[in-house]
Amino acid sequence: MKIGEHTLRNNVIAAPMAGVTDTPFRRLCRRLGAGLAVSEMVASAPRLRDTRKSRLRRCHDDEPSPRAVQIAGADPAQLAEAARFNVDQGAQIIDINMGCPAKKVCRVAAGSALLADEALVGRILDAVVAAVAVPVTLKIRTGPTPHTRNALRIARIAEQAGVAALAVHGRSRACAFHGRAEYDTIREVKHVVSIPVIANGDISTAQQAAQVLRHTGADAVMIGRAAQGNPWIFREIAHYLATGRLLAAPQPGEVLHTLLEHLDALHDFHGEFAGVRIARKHLGWYCRTRPGGEAFWRAINRIECAAQQRAMVSAFVLGEACAAPGLAA
């Protein structure tokens, strides 16, 4: 899988997710097998550039190459300047957000709201591609609504503008995350462009990833919500695509090591006060389907000390391991 001059180690990509794919999570996804992990979206408005949130979102400390930053906005000149600024800060791939269905993003005519204005899409892509020497990628949905799908036209506009790769989520803006993703539109997009196409939406197992690639002919899969609480999914998919064999689930010792590594990284990156609170959602995703998870979740939400959070996670994982058949002490 290549994006511009960058050759990825595989074709399994961590999707940009606001409030999730910060530096600690991206590093974890890469270590556990993702060929690329894209940053949270960074606003293109200059007045927001120096906020603490923006500074943290564009941080790439100790992150392996290539480093991809997603930018969001609706003004071609502002997006072009944001692309230049982020490249100066170390971005090696610029991704443009035209896929987010969140109301607060669409209210300012950004994200997936842009799909309704194909002329503006063209002006944005032309401006950003011309502004930087690094590859520019684009993330879209199938269209404004299920009845007004225009992903094929957007894909042709993107290719003509010089976009290096295109990620397509198999839902429209109106669908948000309701219903099931459909992959026929992604297959049609792949047939009309020669640039790499990345399939996204409802891919939660290695077998599903293989099925989606077969059905669409896409060059890669992008994993979003399925990685929340399960960062091991990247190596599972990559291994299955390479060998046709399923990997065993991670053992409790590795699970505990990974969770503690992630907690330490969050506490260090965000500071103890914010890091402990940000960690809660990751722990909630991890424990949501596990025995005793609800009680653990209620208890961990009351903890404000990093050391105590680590200790409770250790007790929960080790207790779960001891309770499992064949693992009792």
pLDDT in tens, 174-229: 998 999 999 999 999 999 999 999 999 999 999 999 999 999 999 999 999 999 99
Bridge partners of 69? 94
Q: Which domain holds residue 179?
A: 2-243
Q: What does the pLDDT look like over 280-322, one tens digit per residue?
A: 999 999 988 888 888 998 999 999 999 999 999 999 988 765 5
For residues 149 and 260, membership in a common domain is answered with: no
Q: Is residue 39 part of a domain?
A: yes
Residues 294 and 234 in one domain: no
Q: Under DSSP, is residue 287 helix (H, G, I), strand (E, B) or coil?
A: helix
How much is the pLDDT for 320?
A: 62
Mind giving me the DSSP string for 46-60? GGGTTSHHHHHHT--
Same domain, 238 and 266: no
Domain C-terminal end among 186, 212, 243: 243
**The pLDDT of residue 293:** 87
Q: Assess if residue 134 is contained within a domain.
A: yes
Phi, psi of 265 (to 5 degrees): -65, -40
C-alpha span between 122 and 105 (Å, rounded): 19
Indicate if 84 and 188 belong to the same structural domain. yes
100 part of the active site: yes
What's the pTM?
A: 0.92
Q: Which of 100, 106, 305, 322 is catalytic?
A: 100
Strands 197-200 and 165-169 turn out to be parallel
Express each pLDDT in 125-140 by its tens digit. 999 999 999 999 999 9
Q: What's the confidence (pLDDT) of residue 324?
A: 44
